[in-house]
Structure 1
Amino acid sequence: MLAVVAKSGLAPDGWIPVEKTNLGTRFPGVYAIGDVAAAYTAKAGTFAERAAQFVADDIVANLRGTPPPGPYDGAGECFMEFGRGEVAKMYADFLSGPKPTGVLMGPSVELAAEKANFARCRQERWFSGLSSVELLREAKRRQATSHIAMREANTGCPKTTVR
């Protein structure tokens, strides 16, 4: 993926420069999130997921002519495995204050259960509750067809929210 970005002309230094408040690039209507963006946030999937939701909300606001949701705060959380059935959880806010802040909780067995629920909710939301075998089959099908589609399911899992 980074090779594609490097050849695109969007990333003169290997990262795509973005506007801190909305993740927009120097090209109108073009945004960059996740591992390719020069946004001073963690390069973890949960941060990319929140950034994607923020950008989607920004695009919708632009199309509707309504105020943007911003500014983007670069906040999020992720889990870290410690072994022995224990997991820690880190919450960080990279952009809304004068300097990044963070809180580390755990490690604990209770957070391992929370991480398992987090994974279950993502699986249900993204793949409509497919079993592990079905997920592997679906991943192979998508890889073979180069088609990626995410389906939203009403699972009772927490939704990703962005300020």
Structure 2
Amino acid sequence: MRIVILGAGFGGLAAASMLRGQLPPDHGIVVIDRKKEFMMGLVNLWILHGDRKLEDAQTPLAGLNAKGIEYLNDEVTAIDTGGKSVACKSHGKISYDYLIVALGSELAPERVAGFVGRGYNLYDAPQVPPLREKLLSMKKGKVAVCIMGMPYKCPPAPYEASLLIHDMLERNGTRKEIEIDVYAPAPVALPVAGPEVSREVVSILERNGINFHASHKLKTVSSALEFENGATQDCDVLVGIPQHRVPDVIKSSGLAAGDWMAVDRKTLRTNFESVFAIGDVTEIKVGQLAIPKAGIFAEAQAKVVAQQIADEINNRSPSAAFDGKGFCFMETGNGQAGYVDADFFAEPAPAVRLEPASRQNYEKKHDFERTRVRQWLL
């Protein structure tokens, strides 16, 4: 059997690692990704804060080969579910017995006119070091952190960014002369977490002198920020969280149902034979909301899919099911982080809670990254 995994992010790496541990060597596992290195998105915040250098934060994906997993540095150009194959720019057609789509979401900063060239994309790692330099060079002015569309990866990240900017400006001695504003398109800070957690997040911002503006969706960037509600605001540094979209190859190959790939919420199976999809490329609705686009959910889904495939190959009855549970950390500066625990399949409604910030949670966040990189690639 050959299992082909598209994407070497959280989901793809977790699935590959688990499958290799469950299957003998004669079953091939192939991971295809156009990137050469892996870096968790959360590391962008550490680069912003000065805790990590970009050049020290990336781990070569070639490390997969030493673990008995074939890594192809290539771009997928087409997916043929009928013929059970994928086409790549350099390696041509690659057949599969099972396909795991873990391509994530792509950033679309160009959807807000004027942003590119004027704003810094928080989710694009190479833009983070110059953003840090710009912030530290400020003597006074306004910093705007704008969530430019929904859904987006790692829902707490914009709020973490604003708090870390606050912290670094405090240390720089310039905070009193610099205003920090966060603009969100939704009426609450974190719709996926519910009104109570959203109020707690806004309270944390306010205690640190950060202004929160709900129902402000950025429309245009020119000499000022122009929002869809008609408001305009000046700013000196614009930090953007761009709109996200499904990768083009998913659309062109006919795999998208609406804006994202549709899957069974427990098995992650698609409507295509032997094709699973996990992580940010999917949309799993829970009432009016959807499971957040976050690495921890991609990892949990990957483990479920890997177990199902291994069980089928080994003639066992598949029993693994995604339970809708996950967690994340919310850094607040000064070496502290809160902890968000969520159960999105809870009845009668999703259950989400935010633990107060602590040094222990901050250390857990760093350990979260270290242990996974070591397990998957080192």
Instruction: Answer yes or no: same fold by TM over 0.5.
Output: yes
The corresponding residue for 1:4 is 249
The number of residue pairs the alignment matches comes to 128
Deviation at 1:24, TM superposition (A): 0.4
**CA distance in 2 between partners of 1:28 and 1:73 (Å):** 23
Query: Which letter maps to 1:43?
Result: K
* 1:19 paired to 2:264: yes
Deviation at 1:36, TM superposition (A): 0.8
**CA distance in 2 between partners of 1:100 and 1:65 (Å):** 35
**CA distance in 1 between partners of 2:353 and 2:365 (Å):** 16
- Among residues 32, 44, 58, which one is paired with 2:277 in the alignment? 32
Query: Which letter maps to 2:256?
Result: A
- CA distances 1:42-91 after superposition (whole Å, capped 9, x unpaired): 21111101111110001112222322223321211111221221111112
Unaligned runs of 5+ in 2: 1-105, 107-246, 285-289
For the Cα contact (< 8 Å) 2:300–2:322, is it kept in 1? no
Question: 44-53 or 81-90, which moves further after superposition?
Answer: 81-90
Query: Which letter maps to 2:306?
Result: A
Q: What's the TM-score once normalised by structure 1's chain length? A: 0.71
The 5-angstrom pairing of residues 128-139 of structure 1 reads: 128=378
More helix by share: 1
- Among residues 329, 346, 352, which one is paired with 1:102 in the alignment? 352
Q: What's the TM-score once normalised by structure 2's chain length? A: 0.32
User: Judging changes above 3 Å, is the alpha-carbon distance between structure 1 residues 98 and 22 closer, same or farther for their aligned structure 2 residues?
Assistant: farther
The 5-angstrom pairing of residues 7-156 of structure 1 reads: 7-39=252-284, 40-95=290-345, 97-128=347-378
Unaligned runs of 5+ in 1: 129-163
The corresponding residue for 1:153 is none
**CA distance in 2 between partners of 1:8 and 1:97 (Å):** 36
Deviation at 1:4, TM superposition (A): 1.8
Deviation at 1:96, TM superposition (A): 5.2
For the Cα contact (< 8 Å) 2:304–2:321, is it kept in 1? no
Structure 1 SS opposite 2:338: strand
Structure 2 SS opposite 1:31: strand
